[in-house]
Structure 1
């Protein structure tokens, strides 16, 4: 399933215009990544590094292409008036399993600093809702992200689920 998502995204990348915008699924995804890590008003170095590593691992880009994707995603997030513009792009591009995987990536970012702020929680919940990911799948994705981060469920201050 993960390989299917990467193949799909790599195919989209081949069709990417010179200046990517929010209609590009990769840019929409990165914009939502920025929205989550910025939800608490602080983007620290750990979160920035986690963002970069997720982009390298999940999208298979690095160097200039990664910087361009990050800049486009950050700009799209700054200019956005709502989350729907990004989630609607992803809803057209991703199947149900890929949507759940995407929500799990958001949780990885929310826990990058070892703490999930209630505003980060709300943003992930809202994105999951707009993408049609059930509460059950959202919570399971959160638990997988916690396990991957080596954090016991409930140990990260701010846990509300």
Structure 2
């Protein structure tokens, strides 16, 4: 299965002109980055997986079945990935700044699903926000907005 995912990435990264493949690859990259937040505290709660599914379904207008498949692929890709470079690169190439800030906000929402912010989650979000070139002020602003909305 890992070989199939690697071939998928190689195929889509080698031919970025194909709009459908590019959007699917971008969806997978985004989902993999969000999976990193779910996995950051070394505990995967059902509520976090449910929230991730809803986020992906809403963000990409996907069917429930497509979200399930995307989450399985993203989780495997995140587990096998040595670093975040391939995912971050795709997001940096195809998202504008506001989309990146919205992605960081989704990361915060995932971190607060269980009503507690783990230091590992915060560290991972900070690292990814830096790699996505999100300004620190926007990093903090999204954190505070999510904290306020979640009652923390």
TM class by smaller structure: 0.7 to 0.9
Shift of 1:85: 1.6
Structure 1 equivalent of residue 53 of structure 2:
52
Question: TM-score, normalized by length of structure 2?
Answer: 0.83
Structure 1 equivalent of residue 77 of structure 2:
76
Residue of 15, 21, 34 corresponding to 2:20: 15
Q: Is the 8 A contact 2:57 2:64 kept in 1?
A: no
Q: Is residue 2:134 matched to residue 1:133?
A: yes
Equivalenced residue count is 135
Structure 2 equivalent of residue 4 of structure 1:
none
Deviations 1:4-49 (CA, angstroms, capped at 9, x unpaired): xxxxxxxx996138xx6xxx11101111111111111000111111
Structure 2 equivalent of residue 154 of structure 1:
none
After TM superposition, what 4+ stretches of structure 1 lie above 4 angstroms from structure 2?
none
Structure 1 equivalent of residue 105 of structure 2:
104
Shift of 1:72: 1.3
Deviations 1:75-104 (CA, angstroms, capped at 9, x unpaired): 110111011221111000100111111100
List gaps (5 residues or longer) in structure 1.
1-11, 152-161
Question: TM-score, normalized by length of structure 1?
Answer: 0.78
Shift of 1:147: 2.5
